[in-house]
Amino acid sequence: MRKTLFTIGYEGLDPERLRAALQDAGVGLLADVRAVANSRKRGFSKGALRAGLEEAGLGYAHLRALGTPRAGREAARAHDAALMRRIYCEEVLDTADGGLALDALAELAGTRPVCLLCFERDPERCHRRVLAERLVARGFAVVDLFG
């Protein structure tokens, strides 16, 4: 049986819609893969996000090591997905630390339904697509949620 990994971007969502989408999908843990877990959007900074999820019976983990470096975030904001992907792979995933962080994510996602969180609504413009592809190669199915 294939394990399922979910992904979601909180762009355009409020915390209530995010929680509802996670609960509807049966997610047990939200894996925040932002390098910097701060947000100008109410309810999406690390502490507030964790508290709201825990109140709803959902787990939260900030996986900072799987976040995108500044240059990758700038490329994503400029709608240059190819550059973002190259930067992300070279500076994060294809490093020893990045490989260990990906292994840890795969282990975590193998124990309960996990959803990767970042900002971008469109997974094609986000590094969570790269993470998802790497986990598909490890036997996971991927479902993108859109709250």
Q: What are phi and psi of 56, to 5 degrees?
A: -90, 5
Whether the CA torsion 12, 146, 31, 59 is positive or negative: it is positive
**Buried b / exposed e along 91-108 (16+ C-beta atoms within 10 A):** ebbeeeebeebbeebbee
Mean pLDDT score across all residues of the chain: 95
Q: How far apart are CA 28 and CA 101, in angstroms?
A: 19
Q: List CB contacts of 30: < 8 A, sequence separation 6 or more.
A: 22, 49, 53, 58, 59, 60, 61, 114, 115, 117
- Residue 48 pairs in a beta bridge with none
Closest CA to 65 of 119, 18, 103: 103
Place of tokens 């994060």: 92
Query: For 141, which DSSP code?
Result: E
Q: What is the per-residue pLDDT for 114?
A: 98
Residues of the chain above pLDDT 70, percent: 99
Q: What is the per-residue pLDDT for 2?
A: 77
**Residue 36 pLDDT greater than 80, yes or no:** yes
Q: What is the pTM of this model?
A: 0.95
Asked if residues 115 and 27 have their Cβ atoms less than 8 Å apart, the reply is yes
**Residue 147 pLDDT greater than 90, yes or no:** no
Q: What is the per-residue pLDDT for 78?
A: 94
**pLDDT tens digits, residue range 83-133?**
999 999 999 999 999 999 999 999 999 999 999 999 999 999 999 999 999
